Amino acid sequence: MKEGQAAPAPVILGIDDLRALPGATRIARTSREGIQLLEEHRDSFIDELWLDHDLGGDDSIMPVVTLMEEAAFSGRPFRIGTVYVHSANPIGAETVVRSLTHWAYRVRRATA
């Protein structure tokens, strides 16, 4: 970065059906939108990724988690500073934390 240039704004993505996530630069409301959002940022660094487990109706974050696992398995994990899992579903949240930690993503459990 050259002197006088401002640091780029952090990229903070959220996938949550209800919460506002005030710090997020982009929010997806469904797992399908979440996959599209991650794919759009495939080749860039994501500072924070906020994930909710239950996304309304029969939808959940698991298709997004599967995409992230497959990316790591193929040797091209998404470049994410920290993944925050915030969910009122403790079993679902723990599943996400365990799955992503297994693939060396930095994951933290946040209060729903």
Residue 4 lies in a domain: no
CATH of the domain at 78: 3.40.50
Structural domain including 42 reads 12-110
Per cent of the chain over pLDDT 70 is: 96
From edge to edge, which strands make up the β-sheet containing 46-51?
A: 26-28, 12-15, 46-51, 80-86, 107-110
Instruction: Render 12-54 in DSSP notation, one character per residue.
Output: EEEE-SS---TT-SEEESSHHHHHHHHHHTTTS-EEEEEE-SB
Indicate whether 97 belongs to any domain: yes
pLDDT category of residue 5 using cuts at 50, 70 and 90 = confident
22: pLDDT strictly greater than 90: no
The kind and range of the H/E element at 83 are strand 80-86
39: left (phi over 0), alpha (psi -120 to 50) or beta: alpha
Instruction: Say whether pLDDT at 92 is over 70.
Output: yes
31-80 pLDDT, tens digit each: 999 999 999 999 999 999 999 999 999 999 999 999 999 999 999 999 99
Number of domains in the chain: 1
- Is residue 88 a part of any domain in this protein? yes
Percentage of residues in the chain having pLDDT higher than 90:
88
